[in-house]
């Protein structure tokens, strides 16, 4: 593809991503409440003031409204511009990494779903089944488009391994702590993430996800102003972050590790 044309695609793709991010905010707010995502039009949850188009421009509106509703002055959560930015970043990074390919589309579909799933889990401690499906089903189709039957088979294998591993971990954790240490939703979520990962990435996914869970826990403690010991472990956001990073950068990460280890491998 022509380089200039690709740059245009990057700009428009990112703008589209910001707009989808704005829609994801609606999803994050309404899906856990069982509300329709198309009706009624977006409104302030505090005063029902209907959001006009110029109050709905990704990131910019948040800045010129100075994080306040123009109707009642209620504070608008930081989550809105953050999710919008993430929606755009997902497109930008996927296109830069994979070019105009099915892999890029997979990175985008995976990223958008995981933003919604991660945020909803973070805010409500639930994992809506509908979003696990909109993550997993297109993932299977894209695996087939990327790697034909082998790709599809590897996706199912990864989903099974990760789902099984978390199912077993949950059984053991619940038996030893006598309380719910991990939600059932985390099992279906991790299986749906597995659809996007080659089995060879699974050990590194678990490592990346653990580090991401720790980062999410620290962020949780910071935003809720509690001690790290009182933190409810937010598995969802950690799994979401770890899974997406591995999908986009897994190859480079593995390559980097091999490069670091090379001088110490005796068969090198
Ligand atoms: Zn308001």
Spacing, Cα 34 to ligand 1 middle (Å): 22
Spacing, Cα 64 to ligand 1 middle (Å): 15
Spacing, Cα 70 to ligand 1 middle (Å): 7
Spacing, Cα 61 to ligand 1 middle (Å): 14
pLDDT digits (tens, 9 = 90+) for 236-251: 888 999 999 999 999 8
Spacing, Cα 80 to ligand 1 middle (Å): 15
pLDDT band, residue 72 (cuts 50/70/90) = very high
| Domain spans of the chain, in order of start | 1-100, 102-268
Of the candidate ranges 12-16, 23-27, 54-58, 183-187, the one whose mean pLDDT is the lowest: 183-187
Spacing, Cα 226 to ligand 1 middle (Å): 29
pLDDT digits (tens, 9 = 90+) for 33-71: 999 988 888 888 889 899 888 888 999 999 999 999 999
Spacing, Cα 83 to ligand 1 middle (Å): 20
Spacing, Cα 51 to ligand 1 middle (Å): 9
pLDDT digits (tens, 9 = 90+) for 188-216: 999 999 999 999 999 999 888 888 888 87
Spacing, Cα 75 to ligand 1 middle (Å): 8
Mean pLDDT, residues 132-154:
97
Distance of CA 84 to the CA centre of its chain: 13
pTM: 0.90
Contacts of 107 (CB under 8 A, 6+ apart): 90, 93, 94, 97, 98, 244, 247, 248
Spacing, Cα 15 to ligand 1 middle (Å): 26
């Amino acid at each position: 593809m022509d380089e200039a044309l690709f740059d245009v695609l990057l700009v428009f793709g990112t703008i589209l991503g910001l707009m989808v991010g704005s829609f994801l905010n609606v999803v994050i707010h309404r899906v856990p409440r069982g509300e329709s995502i198309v009706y009624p039009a977006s409104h302030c949850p505090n005063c029902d003031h209907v959001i006009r188009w110029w109050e709905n421009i990704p990131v910019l509106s948040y800045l010129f409204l100075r994080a306040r509703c123009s109707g009642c002055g209620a504070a608008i959560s930081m989550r809105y511009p953050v999710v919008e930015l993430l929606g755009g970043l997902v497109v930008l990074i996927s296109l830069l990494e994979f070019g105009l390919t099915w892999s890029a589309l997979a990175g985008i579909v995976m990223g958008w779903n995981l933003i919604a799933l991660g945020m909803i889990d973070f805010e409500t401690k639930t994992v809506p089944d509908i979003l696990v499906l909109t993550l997993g089903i297109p993932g299977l189709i894209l695996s087939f488009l990327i790697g034909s039957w082998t790709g599809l088979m590897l996706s199912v294998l990864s989903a099974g391994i990760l789902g099984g591993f978390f199912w077993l971990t949950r059984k053991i954790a619940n038996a030893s702590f006598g309380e719910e240490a991990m939600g059932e939703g985390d099992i279906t979520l991790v299986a749906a993430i597995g659809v996007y990962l080659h089995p060879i990435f699974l050990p590194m996914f678990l490592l990346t996800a653990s580090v991401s869970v720790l980062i999410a826990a620290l962020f949780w403690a910071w935003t809720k102003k509690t001690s790290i010991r009182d933190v409810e472990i937010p598995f969802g956001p950690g799994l979401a972050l770890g899974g997406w990073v591995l999908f986009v950068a897994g190859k480079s990460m593995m390559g980097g590790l091999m490069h670091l280890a090379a001088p110490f491998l005796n068969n090198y």
